[in-house]
Structure 1
Amino acid sequence: MTIEEIRVRGTVQGVGFRPTVYRLAKSCNLHGDVCNDGEGVLIRVSGSEADLTEFVTRLQQECPPLARINELTRTPYIGEFNFDNFVISSSITNAIKTEIAPDAATCPQCQQEIFDPFSRFYRYPFTNCTYCGPRLSIIRAIPYDRCNTSMSAFPMCPECENSYHNVENRRFHAQPVACHKCGPTAWLERADGKPVTASMFSMMDDVDAVCTLLQKGEIVAIKGLGGIHLAGDATQETVVQKLRQRKRRYHKPFALMARDIAVIEKYCTVSAKEKELLTSSAAPIVLLQKKELETKKSSIAMSVAPEQNTLGFMLPYTPLHHLILRRMNRPIILTSGNLTDEPQCIDNNDAREKLGQIADYFLLHNREIVNRVDDSVVRVINEKVQIVRRARGYAPAVIKLPLGFNNVPQILAMGSELKNTFCLLREEEAILSQHLGDLENAAAFNAYQDTLNLYLNLFEHQPQAIAIDKHPEYLSTKLGKQLAIANQIQLHQIQHHHAHIATCMAENNVPLNSPPILGIVLDGLGYGEDGTFWGGEFLLADYRQFKRLATFKPVAMIGGEQAIYQPWRNTYAQLISANLWDDCQEKYSELEIVKFLNKKPLKLLNQLIKQKINSPPASSVGRLFDAVAAAIGIYPEKCSYEGQGAIAMEALAKSHTLNNHEETLIYPFNFSFSDNIYCIDPCPMWQALLDDLQQQISQPVIAAKFHKSLANTIIDMVKRLRQQNIIHRVALSGGVFQNCILLEQVTNGLQKMEISVLTHSLVPANDGGLSLGQTVITAAKLI
């Protein structure tokens, strides 16, 4: 007989892993035990060599759906061994090295039970098992045992306890297991405080009543898994407008939820890959191409996603959502329950206070949400998944680091100011937090600090180095400096665009000591090495250092941050930079954009540019997109969120085939070389664009031409850089590369040059992935 200790690391707690071990050990005639501990799962086992090998092989093949084995090691067991059977032992508390599973969408078995009148889980909105249900959203500490979650407030009834302890049951050691008798409950309230009576509407229960309310055009705040949402009928224009006015969210698209794929397919085309994402355990919001509906009768309200050709759809991912939508044959809006720019509400009283003027009704429950977890957003480009926002269903699954990142000290990276995430590094793996929002909002910054403290405690993480962005005014940067001083640990300032490239390299498994690759980073802005703002960069980089080879011509951001939300400022700055304003007055004076700009205080603006007062130069391609969008009449005065004009312009370009004759006459850009750096100047592009406007070329054609021209210019620059540098691989990163036209055209162009193209799929291309790059750069410097 051989006695072994088998150590399994990865996502192996709270996912039905121990029952699988138990079942397989019994099947292979083994004796011993299995338990959870801080490192994952520990198995002590005895049997014949053949039986042990079969057990280990089957364990890897028959892993539960939500489990992930990162590492399995077998060593001879030395110690007392008194087992004549196989048993599941109590958890051991020791140093934390295990992972926390992300929250998982309701599995098919649980879905079946909530609609089965003969099941004890019939219509129970908190039904779950080891294959599905809350994880990150309810956990307070590791190991993942019920006493360490917000389910500790609900002692199990005898039937649930029996399921919990029965190793043959799907709910064996499912920590959130509960039923009507012993678990959390949901109830309906009116926002005005008046009582809800059964006579108000026909309903089976409070959850079913929500469907009736939504059909009647009411707005309902629904407490779900990781936060509270606002819901309304997506096909009623008056409901959508009412929600927009009350929430003060005037343009940003709303997310949608539909009962099933069949409902979604009435409104959008859904590929096999998109269907797979929608029905996965992560159940993210998937950005789908709109169908041109022949009938307006049942179509989605225009103001759900104004001036966009995509809709963000998700399927029900909790029993609560399945029960609400059972009778709903049309989509509903399901958007974050918050005031604009604030974090999503997670607490009942907080929701009553903040959402009382927005919602007509509340569907609340008494299970505490420990961790706020937003819905994830993904899209498919060229058959590859691109994560736009990484949260529910994906976080905090670990990201394995590439070859060479071993023996690294623990590192904390603070992330960016917008779309913030932070990242913990330990033992060759990175733990990226869920999306935490824009830190310029005080409530979001407070939530960021709370979540950071929780992660540091959960994972017993004691950083020996802290990585921050170089921008001195980012709140995450300031907090990182404070933590480094208070704890007397190393501080590493990481350049924004280098971090973007390192993120892309790390998730594409580029080994530590690989030769430098060309990174192209296009975004809104990041703090440059020279103290100016960068945002259109070509950097030759490895994990430790980079060299700036090319950039877009820096143009003044008149009014600083105001330029992000008032796109005309960028248009005027670009025309001044291109020395075209005199031409505008003489040759193009009848153009709408010129008339519009002439109403602005141009003398004052000229002074601001000349004297460099709150008008920092920026090589931002994000702002170039804004400038072009405003010039052709898309949101010139103001936009309500960053990149709104650029997103609308992408939709217009997509509506016009990019292969039409007009686009063969693409817009030219100038290339110059000085101080060892290439510069891309859009001046001739503006001249040609003004000519097109004068000839009344349509918006979609100009939008398509601009996209194609920009992609061609980027490819041409790579050709030039290739003459002096060895370039076999190119990494594309930054928020502008969420534009699928640009990403596809640049990727295809580079691949034709036999260049390998690295893009994002595990983390966002925008600043939501930045903390991973900060982490690996710091690690590379310390190794």
Structure 2
Amino acid sequence: MCLGIPGQVVELVPGYEGQLALVDVEGAARRVNVGMLDEPPEPGAWVLIHMGFAVELIDRDKARTALDGLELIGRGRAADQRSRRRYEVTGVVQGVGFRPFVYATATALALSGRVTNTATGVTVEVEGLPDALDTFGRLLRTDPPPLAVVEDVKESTMDLEGGTSFTIEDSGPTGRSRTLASPDVATCEDCRAELRDPADRRHRHPFITCVNCGPRLTIITALPYDRDTTTMAGFPMCDACRGEYEDPTDRRFHAQPIACPDCGPRLELVTGGPGRHSWPPVHGETALRTARELLAQGRIVAVKGLGGYHLACDARDERAVAELRRRKRRGGKPFAVMVADLATARRIAVLTDDEERLLAGPQRPIVLAPKREPLADGVAPGNPDLGVMLPYTPLHELLFGLDGDPPISDALVLTSGNVSGEPIATDDADALERLSGIADAWLRHDRPIHVPCDDSVTRTVGGAALPVRRSRGYAPLPVALPVEVPPTLAAGGDLKNTCAVAEGRYAWLSPHVGDMDDLRTVDALTAVAGQLQDLTGVRPERLVADAHPGYRSTRWALDHADGRPVHRAQHHHAHIASVMGEHGVGAGEQVIGIAFDGTGYGADGAVWGGEVLLCDYKAAERFAHLGYVPLAGGDASVLRPYRMALAHLRNAGIEWADDIPAVAACPQAERDVLAHQLDTAFGSVPTSSMGRLFDAVASLVGAKHVVDYEAEAAIALEGLARDRSPRRAYPMMIVDGGPLVADPAELVRAVVADLRAGVPAAEIAAVFHATVAALIADLADRARDRTGLKTVALGGGVFQNAVLLDAAERQLADRGFTVLRPRLLPPNDGGIALGQLLISAAS
């Protein structure tokens, strides 16, 4: 891209479809970008201008005709026709190239003035002729940079100041922040091209970035977003980088993470760890080359990324993957895989066009898709899907190798740098200690990570994205709220914890924190909540947490209340309120909420999870639920689905016979203890959980009897049900009462009858999914008959199941319902903080 031609300037003239500019060798008119033309214009030529870019050479006669009757800017216009306007822009407008965009737009329109980052966004003052000011205001709202999110533009008039130049000024006075910089963004194509270009001074630079890509959230220490308020403050720019940073024509103009091999962060590779023998550290290209060699040899390397460390190994090396799983104590939980390019992704996974767009987009999430070509067995054992992602940093690109580099694997396991259950490691010394029993080497750099941010995970259902974990690339983009919310902090849940703050009509959700069963995660929640408040300027006057008295997140909220009120939100009400909120359901509006998940504290003290609620933000009435069965031993029955299967068999009046796979999987001694618990209710609590019913059926058909992680059995059952279209459903009795009760006993009897009749497990799984979808539609029908409500909101972790979600959506739509499903936030507990905020505001 070039701006103008040496020795040439252009004179701006308003035109019918844009603007016309006369290329002249004399005069002092503003320059415009001619980089989109096939060849440079000659002096005296006319060009068509669009948004400051010369896009087409214009025939002189055509140009003269177009100019007939038009008044030239700056010619024959009195000075008193000029005016000055102020624009206050809020939203995601820092760290996304917004000030350079303003500069280019203003100068292309021959406007003078200034643009400044402020604590609330960006402020622009421009002076010029009214037509040009009108155009500027319109472009400010409609054509911002790709990464920007303009939420509001306030316009006002000012007194004239004069002047002929437009400048970008340093940030204005700091104050109460109410804006966010962009999330971290994957390396753009321009930077990728420079990374591969031997003639470019940033060739093979692991930290190449520009205003359109690179780290944002993870390096910000305060707002407004400037170099001094990021972790790049410790890297003084060299003269060459400073020149680019200060050049309005350069795409690194005010790109805060700008660096090069002479002045930026540098790579270092260390080995050993505390108490272990290590070789002297190596740096730069030697560090990168050594890391690649170690990966090729089947070693495990901890790699420092944007928001934390990853643990990497060759995804095609059975021994390396098995060793990583053993050292990390991963159990059977699948690993994510980073592949070299989209072609490799297509070979190892079955991808739709929507999934390919997600993979290659600027957020670069992990995308869950069906397996195709096998990798090492230990990558995703027993799972029908593979979590795939593409490189999103220059260092990732370099790990896979550029032209001329020795080849290594085209697929690397890239899993969070932690021991299972702990938060991701971000600090170098901490990573060296915590990962010392896992990694053989650490490939790191000296740019600090201020805000931890794990990878996002998503899948597609019905052609639309369904977030599973919302973190890097998305957090903490604001979510618009349908109602006013006082300054509030939501603690979230205990699994997949994400906290949130809100004030007015916006909420900000944190990156993924993790499961709250580890003290380090509780400490991480404290840090993340503080960082979120600092970045948004929200000073919470109240807190809100889950109603479960035993949740660690609830205890955390009480411990951090500092005299402020703490509201309690019922778990399943929060699931539905979250979906309502992201879809803009207004105050006082009711929906039929289907909240299906694994667990949640119910109003009667039972473990809920199969709920139909009549909801607004203020209250949730329990209209129907899955029938109670005993949850014996708490977590013992969650980790051993055969126990839930035996509980459902007992509830259905079926003898525990060894021809049923779930019964055969339960040792006789445990059967005896379990029978006593179920008979006496000792150590048992009633549960209406749909998640536990999925576990039970998975064990009944022999899909999974023991699990290592949440929903593992349900995932196996979903895998069996895929690509089948059952034409029947199992019977399910709905019993009238206060709330209706969907008794699962008849369904369980039908499943066992099919098993004994030799019906394949895959068909039973498909019929079971069809049964649950039909149950959802039937209960929604009954709720509509009673209330007249026609909108159904689907929430809870069970709706991560693509087979069920797709079937339920179709059945509800066929019956004339408006269906609201999660799109911005996960259906699991990673999304409930938004619902907590809205419930608290309505209380």
Task: Verify same fold: TM over 0.5.
Answer: yes
1:284 aligns with one of 345, 365, 369: 365
- Structure 1 residue 478, shift from structure 2 partner: 1.5
1:215 aligns with one of 292, 296, 301: 296
> Given the superposition, is the C-alpha separation of residues 686 and 301 from structure 1 closer, same or farther in structure 2, using an over 3 Å criterion?
same
AA aligned opposite 1:742? L
CA distance in 1: counterparts of 2:534 and 2:823, whole angstroms: 29
Tell me what 1:426 maps to: 503
Unaligned runs of at least 5 residues, structure 2:
1-81, 402-406
Tell me what 1:26 maps to: 107
Contact 1:289–1:311 (CA<8 Å) still a contact in 2?
yes
1:154 aligns with one of 235, 249, 252: 235
Tell me what 1:479 maps to: 556
CA offset digits 1:307-366 (Å, max 9, x no partner)? 222111111000000111124452111001111111111122222212222122221111
1:195 aligns with one of 266, 279, 288: 279
CA distance in 2: counterparts of 1:259 and 1:147, whole angstroms: 34
SS at match of 2:600: strand
Contact 1:208–1:323 (CA<8 Å) still a contact in 2?
no
Tell me what 2:18 maps to: none
1:658 aligns with one of 696, 710, 724: 724
Tell me what 1:296 maps to: none
SS at match of 1:231: strand
Of all paired residues, the percent bearing the same amino acid is 40
Tell me what 1:533 maps to: 607
> Given the superposition, is the C-alpha separation of residues 523 and 163 from structure 1 closer, same or farther in structure 2, using an over 3 Å criterion?
same
Tell me what 1:620 maps to: 689
Once structures 1 and 2 are overlaid, which stretch shifts more, 361-370 or 299-308?
299-308
- What are the equivalent positions in structure 2 for 1:443-458 lying under 5 Å apart? 443-458=520-535
SS at match of 2:598: strand
CA offset digits 1:84-121 (Å, max 9, x no partner)? 32111110112211123100100101111111111111
Unaligned runs of at least 5 residues, structure 1:
294-298
Tell me what 1:684 maps to: 746
Tell me what 1:374 maps to: 454
Contact 1:307–1:651 (CA<8 Å) still a contact in 2?
no
CA offset digits 1:517-560 (Å, max 9, x no partner)? 10001001111112221100000111111211000011111101
- Structure 1 residue 677, shift from structure 2 partner: 1.1
1:643 aligns with one of 688, 699, 711: 711
SS at match of 1:335: strand
SS at match of 1:24: helix
AA aligned opposite 1:379? R
Q: Check if 1:321 corresponds to 2:396.
A: yes
Tell me what 2:35 maps to: none
Tell me what 2:432 maps to: 352
Contact 2:720–2:765 (CA<8 Å) still a contact in 1?
yes
Q: Check if 1:500 corresponds to 2:553.
A: no
SS at match of 1:265: helix
CA distance in 1: counterparts of 2:115 and 2:143, whole angstroms: 17
AA aligned opposite 1:692? D
CA distance in 2: counterparts of 1:197 and 1:5, whole angstroms: 54
Q: How many residues align?
A: 753
CA distance in 2: counterparts of 1:323 and 1:561, whole angstroms: 44
Tell me what 2:17 maps to: none
> Given the superposition, is the C-alpha separation of residues 665 and 282 from structure 1 closer, same or farther in structure 2, using an over 3 Å criterion?
closer
CA distance in 2: counterparts of 1:157 and 1:90, whole angstroms: 19
SS at match of 2:537: coil
- Structure 1 residue 204, shift from structure 2 partner: 5.4
- What are the equivalent positions in structure 2 for 1:503-582 lying under 5 Å apart? 503-514=578-589, 516-581=590-655
CA distance in 1: counterparts of 2:135 and 2:662, whole angstroms: 73
- Structure 1 residue 598, shift from structure 2 partner: 5.9
- Structure 1 residue 589, shift from structure 2 partner: 4.3
- Structure 1 residue 713, shift from structure 2 partner: 2.0
CA distance in 1: counterparts of 2:794 and 2:303, whole angstroms: 39
Contact 1:555–1:574 (CA<8 Å) still a contact in 2?
yes
AA aligned opposite 2:503? R
SS at match of 2:684: coil
- Structure 1 residue 610, shift from structure 2 partner: 4.1
CA offset digits 1:371-427 (Å, max 9, x no partner)? 11000001011001111000000000001112xx24x32111111111111111122
AA aligned opposite 2:135? E
CA distance in 1: counterparts of 2:126 and 2:662, whole angstroms: 76
- Structure 1 residue 71, shift from structure 2 partner: 0.7
AA aligned opposite 1:310? D
CA distance in 2: counterparts of 1:447 and 1:413, whole angstroms: 15
Q: Check if 1:410 corresponds to 2:487.
A: yes
2:143 aligns with one of 62, 67, 86: 62
CA distance in 1: counterparts of 2:659 and 2:343, whole angstroms: 50
CA distance in 2: counterparts of 1:217 and 1:608, whole angstroms: 48
SS at match of 2:825: coil
Q: Check if 1:728 corresponds to 2:790.
A: yes
Q: TM-score of the superposition, structure 1-length normalised?
A: 0.93
Contact 2:522–2:556 (CA<8 Å) still a contact in 1?
no
CA distance in 1: counterparts of 2:784 and 2:167, whole angstroms: 62
CA distance in 2: counterparts of 1:134 and 1:257, whole angstroms: 19
Contact 1:221–1:229 (CA<8 Å) still a contact in 2?
yes
> Given the superposition, is the C-alpha separation of residues 83 and 477 from structure 1 closer, same or farther in structure 2, using an over 3 Å criterion?
farther
Contact 2:492–2:499 (CA<8 Å) still a contact in 1?
yes
Contact 1:539–1:550 (CA<8 Å) still a contact in 2?
yes
AA aligned opposite 2:740? Y
- What are the equivalent positions in structure 2 for 1:130-169 lying under 5 Å apart? 130-169=211-250
AA aligned opposite 2:493? S
Q: Say what the alpha-carbon RMSD is for the aligned residues.
A: 1.8
> Given the superposition, is the C-alpha separation of residues 64 and 464 from structure 1 closer, same or farther in structure 2, using an over 3 Å criterion?
same
SS at match of 2:604: coil
- Structure 1 residue 259, shift from structure 2 partner: 1.2
Once structures 1 and 2 are overlaid, which stretch shifts more, 147-156 or 34-43?
147-156
Contact 2:625–2:742 (CA<8 Å) still a contact in 1?
yes
- Structure 1 residue 433, shift from structure 2 partner: 0.5
- What are the equivalent positions in structure 2 for 1:219-230 lying under 5 Å apart? 219-230=300-311
AA aligned opposite 1:345? A
AA aligned opposite 1:470? A
1:341 aligns with one of 421, 438, 457: 421
- Structure 1 residue 734, shift from structure 2 partner: 0.2
CA distance in 1: counterparts of 2:636 and 2:480, whole angstroms: 40
CA distance in 2: counterparts of 1:737 and 1:520, whole angstroms: 10
CA distance in 2: counterparts of 1:68 and 1:456, whole angstroms: 20
- Structure 1 residue 719, shift from structure 2 partner: 2.3
AA aligned opposite 2:631? M
CA distance in 1: counterparts of 2:279 and 2:658, whole angstroms: 63
SS at match of 2:91: strand
- What are the equivalent positions in structure 2 for 1:260-299 lying under 5 Å apart? 260-291=341-372, 293=373, 299=374
CA distance in 2: counterparts of 1:760 and 1:600, whole angstroms: 43
CA offset digits 1:60-103 (Å, max 9, x no partner)? 3431121111111211125x836432111110112211123100
CA distance in 1: counterparts of 2:550 and 2:281, whole angstroms: 53
CA distance in 1: counterparts of 2:285 and 2:582, whole angstroms: 48
Tell me what 1:693 maps to: 755
Tell me what 2:735 maps to: 672
- Structure 1 residue 456, shift from structure 2 partner: 1.8
- Structure 1 residue 613, shift from structure 2 partner: 3.1
Contact 1:259–1:328 (CA<8 Å) still a contact in 2?
no
- Structure 1 residue 138, shift from structure 2 partner: 0.9
CA distance in 1: counterparts of 2:198 and 2:142, whole angstroms: 35
Q: Greater relative contact order: 1 or 2 (C-alpha under 8 angstroms, separation 6 or more)?
A: 1
CA distance in 1: counterparts of 2:382 and 2:667, whole angstroms: 27
SS at match of 2:489: strand
